[in-house]
């Protein structure tokens, strides 16, 4: 079987890691080729697979001209036929539904017209909090196979018009975290993350009120974008003002394996995840995971036998801690603005109705608040021990944070290593490729329905704006 992979770039990061794993999983079973717009140091090497760099695939950059879609499609075809004169069996594309390259969907249409069998693996949806990457006026590729990384995304695409025979849950491989013995006395509660906004760092700071007194919260890496870095820096200043036991950017000065070895347990407070490595990887190092449980991610893992007993589903903040009228107004304005970013009418009355329903419940999830409201809550918690104690009574998941029996940790470790092994992943990939080759599907995505599904999602937060 001949598989050509394609992605905008091969910079170090999540998708590049997945492509490397897929190439490794298929080694000895399939021949591979990787097509990309740019391959930088630390990306992929010829030892992984042959790589063809085609500039017309990469991200758009202001003021820089690129080849036309027709020329780029020609260059892709030339690269594929140079490797295999009779072409590839499957063209496996990563994250093609994000508008990182305005010509990309047209390129895919041209390749389909040439007879290429497409498998579109969607890691991230523009409709799920990425309005700047949304194709407002272009339709997504039709009559081809799609792959997603969790059951929620599968259900959304089914509702939007895709057929089960052309839609696949692909999952991922989970590799063991490194552990390296190294000098140092501090014990970390580790948040192994790049501190972008949706990682909800304010909630991570809140958890320091419930950690053992001699532990330090370690947030491994700062974000890259200016907007995220501005928010990250404010949280860093806030932690300094209140003398919180937090080390920001601890992964810049320490080997990651050392941080893992010196960690007591790990946390996640993210309000959105794709596959959800943060819920699986810590167990491979014998570390429990505490913090926020995302149901649409963890439900898949729990079906395999993994237990997340020490996590909370939400962090309830009573409206005695924040002004309900100010919250309702800010939430409605944020939600209306979010709709406008997708080209939808603001529908402020509907936004007000949703906000009023939250207020009527008597409490709001901390992860649903923006940074301004989160800081108001945190000031009360750090000013008065009684406020922290009352919040823990309201949220039992804050009590005994990170405590788990060694036997339970080992059970989870064994389950992760079994269920998310390279062998199981290889079998899943080969099964999907067989389906792409053997089953012609006639279906399309109704973009309006898909956007509505994500827009109505219970996971929406003010941090999405």
What DSSP string runs through 277-318? GGGTHHHHTT--EEEE--HHHHHHHHTTT---TTEES--EEE
Answer whether 218's CB lies under 8 Å from 259's CB: yes
275 plus 310 within the same structural domain? yes
Task: Give a yes or no: residue 180 inside a domain.
Answer: no
- Within a domain: 463: no
Residues 45 and 81 in one domain: yes
What is the C-alpha to C-alpha distance for residues 138 and 374, in angstroms, rounded to an integer?
A: 38
Q: Which of 48, 53, 54, 55 is CA-nearest to residue 32?
A: 48
- Determine which of 176-185, 204-213, 314-323, 367-376 has the lowest per-residue pLDDT on average: 176-185
The pLDDT assigned to 41 comes to 64
* Residue 304 shares a structural domain with residue 376: no
| Total domains, the chain | 3
Spatial neighbors of 148 by CB under 8 A, at least 6 apart, are 121, 122, 154, 157, 167, 168, 169, 170
460 confidence band (pLDDT: 50, 70, 90): confident
**Calculated CA dihedral for residues 252, 257, 258, 261, nearest 10 degrees:** 140
Q: Please indicate, yes or no, whether residues 147 and 251 belong to a single structural domain of this protein.
A: no
* Residue 289 within a domain: yes
Residue 159: both structure tokens together: 């509702």
| Statement to judge: residues 7 and 78 lie in one domain | yes
User: Could you tell me the strand order of the sheet in which 289-292 lies?
Assistant: 246-248, 215-221, 187-194, 263-268, 289-292, 311-312
Same-domain check for residues 55 and 167: yes
**Same-domain pairing of 301 and 446:** no
Residues spanned by the domain of 49: 2-173+422-455
345 shares its domain with 387: yes
280 burial class (0-12, 13-18, 19+ CB within 10 angstroms)? buried
Burial of 113 (0-12, 13-18, 19+ CB in 10 A): exposed
Residue 212 to residue 208: CA distance in whole angstroms: 8
Report the pLDDT averaged over residues 426-447.
Answer: 97
Q: Is residue 58 part of a domain?
A: yes
What pLDDT score was predicted for residue 169? 96
pLDDT of residue 313: 94
Q: Grade residue 456 by pLDDT with cuts at 50, 70 and 90.
A: confident
Strand partners, 91: 4, 118
The string of pLDDT tens digits covering residues 94-138 is 999 999 999 999 999 999 999 999 999 999 999 998 999 999 999
Reported as a pLDDT band with limits 50, 70 and 90, residue 183 is confident
**Mean predicted lDDT score pLDDT of the chain:** 94
Same domain, 166 and 19: yes
pLDDT of residue 65 exceeding 80: no
The answer to whether the CB of 310 falls within 8 A of the CB of 402 is: yes
Task: Give the pLDDT score at 46.
Answer: 61
Distance CA 322, CA 341 (A): 28
Percent of the chain's residues with pLDDT above 90: 87
Note whether residue 31 is domain-resident.
yes
CATH code for the domain of 111: 3.40.50.2000
Q: 179 in a domain, yes or no?
A: no
∠ CA(288), CA(294), CA(298), 5° rounding?
65
C-beta atoms surrounding 263 within 10 Å: 26
Pairing of strands 90-94, 145-148: unpaired
Pairing mode, if any, of strands 31-36 and 51-53?
A: parallel
Q: What is the mean pLDDT of residues 400-414?
A: 95
Distance (Å, whole) CA 311 – CA 456: 25
HSE toward the beta carbon, residue 367, CA cutoff 13 A: 21
- Statement to judge: residues 156 and 14 lie in one domain: yes
Do residue 294 and residue 332 come from a single domain? no
- At residue 374, the pLDDT reads 98
Instruction: Let me know whether 31 and 134 are in one domain.
Output: yes
In a domain, 251, yes or no: yes
Whole-angstrom distance, CA of residue 298 vs CA of residue 300: 5
Residues with Cβ within 8 Å of residue 325, at least 6 apart in sequence:
none
Question: What average pLDDT does the segment 59-82 reach?
Answer: 89
* 145 φ/ψ angles, rounded to the nearest 5 degrees: -85, 145
The per-residue pLDDT for range 285-332, each reduced to its tens digit, is: 999 999 999 999 999 999 999 999 989 999 999 999 999 999 999 999
Query: Distance (Å, rounded) from C-alpha 432 to C-alpha 438?
Result: 10
Q: How far is CA 63 from CA 36, 54, 283, in A?
A: 21, 18, 46
What confidence tier does 14 reach under pLDDT thresholds 50, 70, 90? confident
Structural domain includes residue 462: no
Take residue 268 and report the two structure tokens written for it.
């996640």
Q: Can you point out the beta strands (E) in 127-221?
A: 145-148, 167-169, 187-194, 215-221
Res 88: pLDDT = 98
Specify the DSSP element, H or E, that contains 266: strand 263-268
Residue that is last in its domain, among 379, 394, 409: 394
The structure's pTM equals 0.92
pLDDT exceeds 80 at position 66: no
């Amino acid at each position: 079987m001949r598989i050509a992979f394609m992605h905008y770039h091969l910079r170090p990061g999540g998708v590049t890691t997945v492509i490397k794993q897929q190439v490794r999983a298929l080694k000895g079973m399939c021949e591979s080729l990787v097509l990309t717009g740019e391959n930088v140091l630390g990306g992929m090497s010829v030892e992984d697979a042959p790589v063809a760099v085609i500039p017309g695939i990469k991200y758009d950059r202001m003021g820089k001209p690129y080849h036309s879609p027709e020329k780029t499609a020609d260059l892709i075809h030339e690269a594929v036929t140079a490797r295999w004169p009779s072409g590839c069996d499957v063209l496996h594309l990563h994250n093609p539904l994000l508008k990182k390259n305005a010509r990309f969907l047209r390129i895919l249409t041209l390749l389909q017209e040439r007879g290429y069998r497409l498998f579109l693996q969607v890691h991230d949806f523009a409709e799920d909090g990425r309005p700047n990457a949304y194709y407002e006026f272009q339709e997504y590729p039709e009559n081809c196979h799609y792959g997603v990384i969790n059951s929620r995304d599968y259900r959304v695409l089914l509702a939007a018009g895709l057929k089960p025979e052309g839609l696949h849950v692909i999952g991922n491989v989970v590799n063991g975290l490194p552990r390296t013995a190294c000098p140092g006395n501090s014990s970390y509660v580790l948040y192994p993350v790049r501190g972008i906004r949706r990682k909800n760092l304010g909630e991570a700071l809140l958890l320091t009120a419930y950690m053992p007194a001699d532990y330090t919260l370690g947030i491994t890496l700062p974000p890259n974008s200016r907007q995220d870095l501005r928010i990250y820096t404010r949280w860093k200043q806030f932690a300094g003002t209140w003398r919180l036991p937090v080390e920001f950017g601890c992964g810049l000065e320490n080997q990651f394996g050392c941080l893992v070895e010196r960690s007591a347990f790990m946390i996640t407070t993210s309000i959105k995840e794709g596959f959800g490595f943060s819920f699986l990887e810590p167990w491979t190092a014998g570390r429990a995971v505490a913090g926020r449980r995302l149901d649409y991610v963890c439900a898949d893992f729990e079906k395999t036998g993994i237990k997340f007993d020490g996590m909370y589903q939400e962090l309830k903040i009573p409206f005695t801690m924040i002004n309900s009228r100010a919250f309702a107004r800010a939430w409605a304005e944020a939600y209306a603005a979010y709709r406008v970013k997708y080209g939808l009418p603001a529908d402020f009355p509907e936004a007000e109705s949703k906000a009023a329903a939250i207020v009527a419940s008597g409490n709001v999830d901390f992860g649903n608040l923006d940074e301004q409201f989160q800081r108001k809550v945190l000031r009360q918690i750090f000013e008065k021990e009684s406020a922290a104690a009352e919040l823990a009574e309201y949220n039992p998941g804050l009590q005994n944070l990170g405590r788990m029996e060694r036997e339970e940790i080992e059970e989870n470790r064994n389950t992760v290593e079994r269920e998310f092994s390279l062998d199981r992943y290889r079998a899943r990939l080969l099964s999907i490729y067989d389906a792409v080759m053997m089953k012609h599907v006639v279906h399309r995505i109704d973009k309006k329905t898909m956007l509505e599904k994500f827009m109505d999602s219970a996971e929406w937060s003010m941090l999405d704006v």
